[in-house]
Amino acid sequence: MALHLGRLGAGPCWRVSRGGCRELREWSRRCTAGRLCQPPSASRTEQSRGLGSGETAGGGSRLGTGLAVALAGLAGLAAAAFGHAERAEMVPKSFGTRGPSPGRPEEEDELARRCSCFMALPVTDLRELRRRPGDMKTKMELLILETQAQVCQALAQVDGGASFSVDRWERKEGGGGISCVLQDGHVFEKAGVSISVVHGNLSEEAAKQMKSRGKNLKSKDGKLPFSAMGVSSVIHPKNPHAPTIHFNYRYFEVEEADGNKQWWFGGGCDLTPTYLNHEDAVHFHRTLKDACDRHGPDLYPKFKKWCDDYFFIAHRGERRGIGGIFFDDLDSPSKEEVFHFVQTCAQAVIPSYVPLVKKHRDDSFTPQEKLWQQLRRGRYVEFNLLYDRGTKFGLFTPGSRIESILMSLPLTARWEYMHSPSENSKEAEILEVLRHPRDWVH
C-alpha cells in the first residue's frame, strides 16, 4: 500500500498538525518549555553503515567550498532564489475544512489539514504532492513548511507585538519560496524564516563546481536536472543579552543522463551571543547533542567541530559565534534515516533557543552593552558577505532574489576603527571563546 501523506510525520509534530492550529500553538509552548518533540523512529534497513559514516561526513565535505552549502540558500536566506515575489496571505480557513475528493478522501483530507497550519500553501501543487506521497521531495517540502510555521508561531508568541509578513515568490525557471519576516518587534529586531522549493537545470557554473568537488555527474546535452529545497532562518533579538540564532536544513537531488539520481542532505544550527552566558551555551549544545545522539553517539562531536571550522572569520581570527552543529553531503546510510535525522534536528530548534530568549528578553542593559552588540553584528555581516558560500553563490547568480538572500543581515550594525575591549572585561571574555572554541557538554 502506498504511504499516505498523513503518515509522513507520524510523531507529535504531525499529530499537532492533524489536530489543527490550536494544537500547533500548544506544541510550541511545550517545546519552549524544553521538551524535545520525538519524530517517528527511523527504519534501520541498512546496518552496514552508520549515519554520516560516508566519506563526506565529518572532517570535510566533498563539495567543501562548493555548491551544496551554496544551495543551502535555496531556503531563501542564502540561496539562488530567483524570480518575483508576491504578497501572500495565511492559508485560507476554508482550505483546511473543504470536503475531500472522491477516491482518496482520507489522504486528501489529511494533507489539507496539515497544510492549514502552514504560513502559506505549499510551493508544489497539491495535486502533485498527492501523486507522490512517499517521494522524499514531498516529505521534505512538508517538513520545511511545518518547521517554518512552528518557528514563526513560537517567535510571534515570544515577541507579543509584531507579526510576520509573508512573501510568496516564484522562480521562472521552476519553483519558488515563502519568506516570513518580523521586523521591529518588542523582542526581535529582525527575524526571518524562509523556505524554498526549486527545480530546473543546473547552470554550467554550478555543474562545474559540483564536479570539481568530487561529484561525478553525467549530463545529457549539457543539462543536469535538479531539485532542491530547504528552510533557513536568522533571528536577531533587540536585547544584547539575548543571543542570535541561525539554522538551515536542506535536501538536494540531481538526475543524471542515465536516470540515476544523486541525493544528499545538509544543514545545521548555531548560536551567536553578544555576551557569554555559560548556562545558555550548555543548554543550547546539550539540546543539539540530545537530538544527534538519538541517531548515533559520534554525530554531535563530528558536526560540532565542522560547525566551529565553517563559521570562522579568517581575517579576524575568530568564529562568528559559539557554534552548534553543521553538516553537508549527508547521503548514508539511507535516505529515510538521514531524513529522520534532519527532522529530529529541525524539531530541536525551538527548545534549544526560545527558552534563552524568554530568559533574557527583559534583562537590563547599558549603552555600552548595546554598542558591543552592534560591533558584534558587524562581524556577523562580515562573515555572511565574505565567507558564507550560500550568500556568495546567490549574489553572483543572475536573477537571484536579493531580498531573500540578504534577509539574514541585521537591521543595524556598527564598525569602529581599531576597537578593542578592555582586558578582563565581559567583551574580552566572549572574544576568547570565539578564538578558542570550547566543549560545552562534557
Single-letter amino acid code for the residue at 74: L
Handedness of CA 88, 90, 91, 97 (dihedral sign): negative
Q: Which of 246, 283, 340, 360 is catalytic?
A: 246
Rounded Cα gap, residues 194 and 177, in angstroms: 7
* DSSP reduced 3-state for 167: strand
* DSSP reduced 3-state for 403: helix
Strands (E), 242-320: 244-255, 261-272, 312-313, 318-319
Q: Which three cell numbers stand for residue 9?
A: 510525520
Single-letter amino acid code for the residue at 329: D
* 246 noted as active-site residue: yes
* DSSP reduced 3-state for 188: strand
Q: Which three cell numbers stand for residue 19?
A: 489536530
Rounded Cα gap, residues 24 and 18, in angstroms: 9
Helix axes 335-347 and 349-360, enclosed angle (nearest 10): 10
Contact 291, 252 (CB under 8 A): no
Distance from chain centroid for Cα 342: 10
Q: Which three cell numbers stand for residue 117?
A: 497550519
Rounded Cα gap, residues 179 and 196, in angstroms: 8
- Pick from 414, 243, 382: which is nearest to 313 by CA? 382
Q: Just list the catalytic residues.
A: 246
